[in-house]
């Protein structure tokens, strides 16, 4: 899942090298933390949060296979 999110986000931002995705597991819950430049954070979120919601939808659909609940946090460096 981490690889999937990293690939999607790197395709959206200008500075691919600044993107890191951290995965923190706790039981059947997983937090995916996306870190990027503050200037690229708006591109990940998108207008009215539509890009962020699309990323969350992809993760939600892929999570059925792993039977885990994923949460996504987006932060700028």
Is the distance from CB of 19 to CB of 36 less than 8 angstroms?
yes
CATH of 2-76, one of 3.30.2130.30, 3.30.460.80, 3.40.50.2300, 3.30.300.20: 3.30.300.20
Could you give the CA distance from residue 77 to residue 1 in angstroms, rounded to a whole number?
22
Prediction pTM value:
0.84
Q: Which residue has the tokens 């690229």?
A: 40
Per-residue pLDDT tens, the chain, 77 aa: give them: 899 999 999 999 998 999 999 999 988 899 999 999 999 999 999 999 999 999 999 999 988 888 889 999 998 88
């Amino acid at each position: 899942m981490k690889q999937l999110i990293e690939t999607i986000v790197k395709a959206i931002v200008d500075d691919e090298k600044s993107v890191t995705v951290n995965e923190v597991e706790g039981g059947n819950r997983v937090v995916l933390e996306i870190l990027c430049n503050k200037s690229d954070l708006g591109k990940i979120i998108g207008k009215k949060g539509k890009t962020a919601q699309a990323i969350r939808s992809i993760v939600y659909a892929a999570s059925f296979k792993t039977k885990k609940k994923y949460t996504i946090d987006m932060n700028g460096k």
